[in-house]
Structure formats: C-alpha cells, structure tokens
Amino acid sequence: MVIVIFSIILSVSFYFFSGFGKKEALEKDVAGLTAFMRNARLLSVASKDASVFGVHLENSKAVLFEGNIYVAGGANEKILIFSPKVYLYSYSLNNGGSDIIFDRLTGNTLNYGTVTLSLKDNSASSTITILKTGVIQ
C-alpha cells in the first residue's frame, strides 16, 4: 500500500515539475538572445574596429557577426546555440531577411521587428521586440 501511494505521489510530482525545465530553458535562451542583440548594438555604437555588428537568426542558433553582411564562418563571429528544447518559432523583420544589423554610433536598425522563441512542443513561447532605435525589449 505504501508503495502504491508513493508511486502516485511520484507520478503527480513528475507531471507537475516536468514542464519546469522546459520553461526555464526557454527563459534562458530568450535572455541569452536578448543579451546577444544588445551586445551587437553596443559594439556598433562603440564603433569597434570602425564596423557595424549584427545578429543572424537560424532555427537552432543565433550568430553575432561583424560587418554589413553575414558570412557563415566569419572570423569574429560568436554563436549562441539554443537549448535542444527551444527553437526559433518565427521572426518578422522590416526589410525581410534573417539579420538584424545595428548602425555605427547610433545603434539604430532598419531591421526592426519581432523574434519569437518557442518550446519544441509549442507549450510556451516568448517574443523579443527590436525597435527602430535598436532598443531590445
């Protein structure tokens, strides 16, 4: 009898806490992508190496790159790989494309819009907004 009760308690606990790790992964990846975008903007405002910086979006990762055009495998790129539980659900950027490039000195962007990350089971999602001023919300 004790084993049956223990099994039921364990099953109920597992059911309620199984989603916790997934939502935590989503929150972590949203925070990481937001920081990545803010870093690209900061580097552009600082005019590091007299260049602009941007973020290239893919289904399972984001790439911080230097220059006006993303070239895979670039020398100064940094890669943020999303958790296996998370993917890039959608993005809607002004001027289309999958790159957000920030202007030197001002940090403005022509690629403003939204980026949404989601859990792979689509049980939760979170949207990041990029304003024309380059501010990330």
pLDDT digits (tens, 9 = 90+) for 19-59: 558 999 999 999 999 999 999 999 999 999 999 999 999 99
Q: Where are the domains of the chain?
A: 22-130
Superfamily grouping for domain 22-130? minor pseudopilin epsh domain (3.55.40.10)
- Report the candidate in 93, 125, 88, 123 with the shortest Cα–Cα distance to residue 109: 93
pLDDT digits (tens, 9 = 90+) for 60-86: 999 999 999 999 988 889 999 999 999
**Strand locations in the chain, DSSP E?**
53-57, 61-66, 78-81, 86-93, 99-102, 113-119, 125-130
pLDDT digits (tens, 9 = 90+) for 99-121: 999 999 999 999 999 999 999 99
